[in-house]
């Protein structure tokens, strides 16, 4: 929190979502593994030692008190809870060197036969089967991991709120095509779209409904009224219009409408290029959703199209954190805040996560831009 | 340092072609080669095996499919130029990349190369499927190319190959186009043409 702030973090976030005035631009970078690098610990320590991870975030907050919206999913990003992820991870200190960034292993886990379980028995039994294959966890063990993740999330929420921040995400799933690609691999998912489209037509509504149900249940329990929806592989960049309108958009909309009906804000974490699909978001209720962009989409075009309709998060690119000069970073941040932040409906952030190997001086410039360009009171 | 950027959808055969080309350069031209590869959705190159054969390999962070890789790519290029000083740098882009975006990034942030050319591998066997599902995306990859390799022609009949070649030409009539079967050894003549870009 900054001394000149007149709004609390949650108040500021909700105002931005509702397209109402704010005292200054909400600052919501996804810090991720960079926190450990700033704190001087290895990535192995960051993932394996909860106290060291929390202490690393304390250091970021100390250095950058303007950081008010907390998007970290620490509970899901530990060695002990890695099986909550729908894709297998290679972890530093385990499958990777001690200070390597965590990596996803893109591989086929679910078979086409497994997908039929969704139709025959429901999404949850399928998820348990895929988890067992992916992570080697039996159902009871998997449920215990979910329980542990829930406890860690509650601990983190308490820390975040005590520091004057607000927690952004109450639940983190993906839209149906995204989940298919995590479980089947990207390559097989595109093949499935071509070869077994009828089966996908049957199972995608079930996945959308079940996932939404899980989100509603979890958010009722934790009170954090935003649901992250992953959708980078579902982008119109990668899909013909016909297939995007068949396999992606209807379920994005289905999930969004159901969440909004339960007073939950869907936050579309839509990496990759969504520029050609921005108009679709006008179909969703005004002031009730968030669109997170990672710099592949033209965020300035997004502002033109969605300015009086939907809050936008983004989008300082990884290149600006890792390779560019501090002055290039400052120039972009200024343009971003002044153009996309004009008249509200904007949450200032990087695209996706701050790169693990970011230059510290560039990160400093990123945060300093909040006061330089984003103060309105 | 001359840079060859390989693009093309997942599973099109980029890795197999890159390895053949790299070994050709090392064994027949006696020049130093480094490879940057990423692993999103692909079978990774075994860097230890290749190091034993005189090739330097750098793997890029394979996170979720987003833009992280561009920052790491630039740093990898600079690091290789400084430490290995290869004659040739072959970059295998992710199968979900549009090569022209990568070229823009390299041109803006790297100044340590003589030439930068893009070779896009087209999967002859899966072309219809990929065009149907991904639409403009595979076309955008083709449009990015200085040279196009239509691969896996052993899996389609010769009439289909010709039709495919004509279709691809309509998207990019400026690029050289070659038909190939990466599972067999590519001819030295074709390799030389790729290197002469």
A180 touches chain B (CB under 8 A): no
What are the structure tokens assigned to A36, written together?
């450990």
Mean pLDDT of A216-229: 96
Q: Which residues contact B196 (CB under 8 A, 6 or more apart)?
A: none
Kindly determine whether residue A186 and residue B40, on different chains, have CB atoms separated by under 8 Å: yes
How many other C-beta atoms lie within 10 A of the C-beta of residue B188? 10
What are the structure tokens assigned to A38, written together?
């700033």
Pick the more confident residue, A202 or B193: A202
HSE, side-chain direction, 13 A CA sphere, residue B79 = 14
Position A32 in a domain: yes
Tell whether omega for the bond before A116 is within 30 degrees of 0, i.e. cis.
no
Interface test with A, best of B8, B39, B41, B126 (most A CBs within 10 A): B41
**C-alpha distances out from residue A151 to A46, A53, A146, B132, Å:** 18, 16, 9, 45
CA-nearest residue of chain B to A323? B71
Residue B120 pairs in a beta bridge with B7, B148
Select from A187, A271, A353 the Cβ nearest to the Cβ of B41.
A187
Interface test with B, best of A96, A102, A103, A177 (most B CBs within 10 A): A103
Burial (CB count <10 Å: 0-12, 13-18, 19+), residue A122: middle
Position A297 in a domain: yes
Pick the more confident residue, B162 or A336: A336
The 10s digit of each residue's pLDDT in A259-285 is 999 999 999 999 999 999 999 999 999
Select from B10, B63, B130 the Cβ nearest to the Cβ of A103.
B63
Q: A114 pLDDT band (50/70/90 cuts)? A: very high
**Considering only residues 215 to 254 of chain A, which have any Cβ-Cβ distance to chain B shorter than 8 Å?**
232-233, 237-243
Pick the more confident residue, A328 or B84: A328
Position A3 in a domain: no
Position A275 in a domain: yes
Q: Which residues contact B129 (CB under 8 A, 6 or more apart)?
A: A190, A191, A194, A195
- Please give, rounded to a whole number of angstroms, the shortest distance from the CA of B142 to a CA of chain A: 14
Position A208 in a domain: yes
Q: What is the ipTM of this complex?
A: 0.89
Kindly determine whether residue A106 and residue B133, on different chains, have CB atoms separated by under 8 Å: no
Query: SS3 of A312, please?
Result: strand
A357 touches chain B (CB under 8 A): yes
What are the structure tokens assigned to B13, written together?
């055969």
CATH number of domain containing A66: 3.20.20.210
Position A1 in a domain: no
**Considering only residues 16 to 45 of chain B, which have any Cβ-Cβ distance to chain A shorter than 8 Å?**
39-42
Q: Which residues contact A107 (CB under 8 A, 6 or more apart)?
A: A88, A185
Q: Which pTM was predicted?
A: 0.94
Q: A105 pLDDT band (50/70/90 cuts)? A: confident
Contact yes or no for B168/B139 (Cβ under 8 A): no
Of A83, A87, A176, A170, which is closest to residue A123 (Cα–Cα)?
A176
**Cα A246 to Cα A248: distance, rounded to the nearest angstrom:** 6
Number of domains in chain A: 1
**Count H helices, E strands: chain B?**
8, 7
Return the pLDDT at A46: 95
- Return the exposure string of B53-68: e unless at least 16 CB atoms fall within 10 Å of the residue's CB, then b: eebbbbbbbbbbbbbb
Q: Which residues of B touch A193 (CB under 8 A)?
A: 133
The 10s digit of each residue's pLDDT in A148-197 is 888 999 999 999 999 999 999 999 889 999 999 999 998 899 999 999 99
For residue A196, what are the domain limits? 9-373
Q: How far apart are the first and last CA of chain B?
A: 14
Position A85 in a domain: yes
**C-alpha distances out from residue B183 to B40, B91, B180, Å:** 22, 20, 9
Return the pLDDT at B193: 83
A111 touches chain B (CB under 8 A): no
User: Would you mind telling me the total number of residues written for chain A in this entry?
Assistant: 377
Flag residues of chain B having pLDDT under 70.
Answer: 39-53, 61-71, 197
A351 touches chain B (CB under 8 A): yes
**Cα B189 to Cα B178: distance, rounded to the nearest angstrom:** 11
Position A4 in a domain: no
Return the pLDDT at A137: 83
């Amino acid at each position: 929190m900054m001394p000149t702030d007149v709004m609390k973090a949650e108040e500021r976030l909700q105002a931005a979502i509702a397209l109402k005035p704010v005292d200054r631009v909400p600052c919501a970078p996804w810090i991720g593994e960079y926190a450990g690098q700033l704190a001087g610990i290895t990535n192995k320590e960051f993932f394996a030692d909860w106290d060291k991870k929390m202490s690393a975030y304390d250091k970021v907050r100390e250095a950058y008190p303007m950081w008010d919206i907390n998007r970290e999913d620490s509970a899901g990003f530990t060695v002990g809870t890695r099986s909550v992820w729908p894709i297998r991870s290679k972890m530093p200190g385990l499958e990777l060197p001690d200070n390597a960034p965590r990596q996803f292993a893109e591989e086929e886990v679910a078979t086409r036969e497994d997908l039929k379980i969704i139709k025959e028995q429901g999404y949850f039994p399928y998820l348990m089967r895929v988890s067992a294959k992916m992570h080697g966890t039996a159902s009871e063990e998997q449920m215990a991991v979910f329980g542990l993740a829930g406890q860690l999330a509650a601990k983190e929420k308490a820390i975040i709120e005590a520091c004057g921040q607000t927690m952004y995400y109450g639940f983190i799933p993906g839209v149906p095509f995204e989940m298919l690609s995590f479980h089947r691999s990207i390559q097989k998912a595109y093949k499935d779209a071509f070869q077994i489209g009828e089966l996908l037509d049957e199972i995608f509504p079930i996945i959308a409904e079940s996932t939404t149900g899980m989100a509603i249940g979890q958010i009722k329990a934790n009170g954090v009224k935003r649901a992250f929806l992953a959708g980078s592989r579902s982008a119109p960049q990668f899909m013909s219009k016909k297939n995007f309108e068949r396999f992606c958009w209807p379920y994005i909309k289905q999930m969004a409408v159901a969440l909004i009906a339960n007073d939950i804000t869907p936050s579309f974490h839509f990496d990759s290029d969504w520029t050609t699909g921005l108009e679709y978001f006008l179909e969703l209720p005004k002031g009730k959703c968030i669109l997170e962009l990672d710099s592949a989409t033209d965020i300035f075009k997004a502002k033109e199209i969605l300015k009086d309709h939907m809050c936008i998060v983004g989008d300082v690119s990884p290149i600006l954190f890792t390779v560019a000069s501090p002055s290039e970073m400052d120039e972009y941040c200024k343009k971003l805040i002044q153009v996309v932040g004009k008249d509200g409906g904007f949450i200032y952030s990087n695209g996706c996560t701050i790169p693990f190997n970011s230059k510290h001086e560039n990160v400093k410039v990123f945060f300093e831009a909040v006061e330089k360009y984003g103060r309105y009171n | 340092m001359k840079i060859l950027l390989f693009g093309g959808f997942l599973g099109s055969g980029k890795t197999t072609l890159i390895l053949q080309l790299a070994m050709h350069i090392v064994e027949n031209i006696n020049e130093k080669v480094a490879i940057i590869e990423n692993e999103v959705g692909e079978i990774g190159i075994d860097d230890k095996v290749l190091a034993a054969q005189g090739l330097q390999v750098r793997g890029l962070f394979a996170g979720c499919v987003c833009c992280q890789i561009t920052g790491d790519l630039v740093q990898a290029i600079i690091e290789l130029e400084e430490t290995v000083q290869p004659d040739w740098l072959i970059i295998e882009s992710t199968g979900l990349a549009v090569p022209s975006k990568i070229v823009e990034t390299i041109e803006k942030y790297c100044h340590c190369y003589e030439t930068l050319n893009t070779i896009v591998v087209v999967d002859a066997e899966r072309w219809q499927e990929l065009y149907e599902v991904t639409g403009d995306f595979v076309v955008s990859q083709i449009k990015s190319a200085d040279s196009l390799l239509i691969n896996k022609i052993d899996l389609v009949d010769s009439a289909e190959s010709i039709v495919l070649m004509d279709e691809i030409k309509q998207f990019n009539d400026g690029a050289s186009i070659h038909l190939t079967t990466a599972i067999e050894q590519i001819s030295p003549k074709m390799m030389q043409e790729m290197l002469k870009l």
